[in-house]
Amino acid sequence: MRRPNQPLPGLGGQEPGAAPTLPGLGAGANVDAQRVMTGYQLERIMNEAIEHHKAGRREEAEGLYRTILQQVPDQPDALNLLGVLAVDGGRNDMAVELMGRAMMRRPMDPNILNNFGNALFLQRRYDEAQEHLEQAIVLKEGFTEALFNLAKTIRMQGDLAEARYYYERVLELKPDHWAAKAGIAHTWEDEGDMKRASDGFLQIIEQAPDRAHGYRGLSHVRKWKGDEPEITAMKQVFESEDARAADRISVAYALGKVHDDIKDFDKAFEYYKFANDNSGVQHDHDAVVAQYDELIDVFSKDFFDKNFGHGHPSKKPIFVVGMPRSGTTLTEQIFASHRDVFGAGELEYMARTMRRAFLMSGEAPTPAAYRKLSANAWRILGNQYIKLTQRKAPIADRVADKMPHNYEQLGLIAMTLPNAKVIHIKRQAPDTCFSCFTHDFNEFHSYNRDLRNAGLYYRQYERVMEHWKEVLPIEIFNLKYEDLVSEPEDTIRKMLDFADLDWDENCLNFHKLKRRVATPSNTQVTQPMYKKSKDRWRNYEKHLVPLLEALEWEGFGAQKGAAE
């Protein structure tokens, strides 16, 4: 359900509360005269649907868009705007499908290009998103929404100077575009220049004290003492009846971080809980269980016995997998510090490989489709991944890919890249889950909005990893986060040896490496190894009963057994 004053996502980079760019029926109508409704009637329905859409009446708009598509199945405006609603509901796969159909009918429409590009961005398909967004800004001069979406897409690919260029173009057109100003500050944060990042966020606060952009960013780049004037300003935004709902939620996350820094843990939890309770994000645990049931059923020992050994033989990839907030960023930073390794960040290449596998199978996009793939298909899919990494790092001997949720893809990785090295990092469950709870992840991580769901999800993750341990024909290095921070040199030596890498002293000095890190751990990897994140959850223990019960953690609930 849409929160009050929430913008229409997928329409591209609007400030919260701004009116979305919604086309009329336009030149694409071309209604067949034999249809039940006339072109005039369909245009009237479209205009009515757009009014509902602008007013946030989502169900009414969706019903009318579908009425149009019943009459004209490929009407591009209805497909495009129904796709926008799909993005709004977190159904990004559906959005890409609908907008892709709209693109086929009207490939030079900048609004469709922008919306499609943004939907691809939300799927982490950054290369494809960039291509469509670049076309949108070429076709429509001064298209600030597409410029903003392009800037954030380029930022996620690591070209921070180029991202700043496009953020600046947005500000030339809209000097008060606070999200673009925050984007520039975030690029400095990504580079580890916390002083410039802090200055940028403070400038936003000075110019827009009633907006969340500056406070949220500043909370991450500063260690708080409790007497800073910005804390009072944040509380004023949070308590204001006139504040936008999205701003209150964002400021709540910032205030949670502030109070965690000053060790007022009860107040910090209160803010984190408010932010999550009001996010509007829904989680379907049964769907997760069903997904993992099918994954486990398909990738059985018998499947590997019959099909393994036909992938690409490259030894270049190193996959770092695990739950978010488990230490994947720190682990990748250590690898990136090695003279022979390029740290590529969170690559979406394996997800792209998965999509191509489904297309090649000719089946529905579920794990069952893997049963239809031939030996040649596995080789081709592995070759595609290697080509993508070669483009990313043409001269590197090895490439570290730290997409955490690639733990779900280990069957696909084994089949396509049988010589890849996999590092699985696991952190104490309550620390991992609570850390997820304190971050505003996207809808893909819907489990993090509720403590019980976070615990149940973590157990499903453990179930999948136990399955891989039993059946996977490639070896996994199981790394404990607590060992890494307590005994770094010994642990790093073992990890490098597993990955067939010589010892490199730089791996102990990972914090000196200057590179883009666009994850919530970007401040950690610019400091020497520290242990303060161990057992952080105990500061909040009295608030975490739903999480601990779901985890069946040390006396909470029944003895730990099969995951729910």
pLDDT exceeds cutoff 70 at 413: yes
Report the predicted TM-score, pTM, of the whole model to 2 decimal places: 0.82
263 and 20 in contact (C-beta within 8 Å)? Answer: no
- Judge whether 556 lies within some domain: no
CA gap 7, 88 in Å, rounded? 9
> Crossing angle of helices 58-71/39-54, nearest 10°?
160
Q: Is 352 left (phi over 0), alpha (psi -120 to 50) or beta?
A: alpha
What is the three-state SS of 316-337? CEEEEECCCCCCHHHHHHHHHC
Task: State the distance between the two ends of the chain, measured CA to CA, in whole angstroms.
Answer: 27
Residue with tokens 């804390």: 231
- Chosen domain end from 78, 107, 140: 140
- Judge whether 441 lies within some domain: yes
- Long-range CB contacts (< 8 A, 24+ apart) of 231-239? 231/255, 231/258, 233/205, 233/209, 234/258, 237/209, 237/210, 237/211, 237/212, 238/271
Side-chain half-sphere exposure of 312, counting CA atoms within 13 A: 19
The CATH number that applies at residue 85 is 1.25.40.10
Mean pLDDT, the chain, whole residue set: 87
- Chosen domain end from 109, 140, 171: 140
- Judge whether 209 lies within some domain: no
Q: What pLDDT sits at residue 440? A: 85
Cβ burial of 541 (10 Å; 0-12, 13-18, 19+) is middle
- Judge whether 325 lies within some domain: yes
- Chosen domain end from 120, 140, 160: 140
Q: Read off the pLDDT band of 36 (50, 70, 90).
A: low
Taking only the tens place, the pLDDT of each residue in 114-173 is 999 999 998 888 989 999 999 999 999 999 999 999 999 999 888 899 999 999 999 999
Q: What pLDDT sits at residue 442? A: 67
Percent pLDDT > 70 in the chain is 87
Residue 27 tokens, joined: 């030149």
Beta-sheet strand order (sheet of 476-480)? 341-343, 398-401, 317-321, 421-426, 476-480
Taking only the tens place, the pLDDT of each residue in 236-258 is 999 998 889 989 999 999 999 99
Taking only the tens place, the pLDDT of each residue in 258-277 is 999 999 999 999 999 999 99
- Judge whether 444 lies within some domain: yes
The CATH number that applies at residue 331 is 3.40.50.300
Residue 436 neighbours by CB under 8 Å, 6+ apart: 323, 324, 325, 445, 447, 448, 454
Q: Read off the pLDDT band of 561 (50, 70, 90).
A: very low
Q: What pLDDT sits at residue 321? A: 97
- Judge whether 191 lies within some domain: no
pLDDT exceeds cutoff 70 at 560: no
Per-residue DSSP letter, 18: P
> Average pLDDT, stretch 72-89?
91
**How many domains does the structure of the chain reveal?**
2
Q: What pLDDT sits at residue 532? A: 63
> Average pLDDT, stretch 462-485?
95
- Whole-Å CA distances, 228 to 189, 211, 219, 222, 223: 20, 18, 11, 11, 11
Q: Quick one: how many helices (H) and strands (E) in the chain? A: 25, 5
Domain that holds residue 534: 285-551
Q: What pLDDT sits at residue 563? A: 41
Residue 99 tokens, joined: 């907008």
- Judge whether 467 lies within some domain: yes
Residue 104 tokens, joined: 């086929």
Beta-strand ranges (E) seen in 344-434 are 398-401, 421-426
- Judge whether 385 lies within some domain: yes
pLDDT exceeds cutoff 80 at 527: no
Q: What pLDDT sits at residue 15? A: 44
Residue with tokens 């110019």: 207
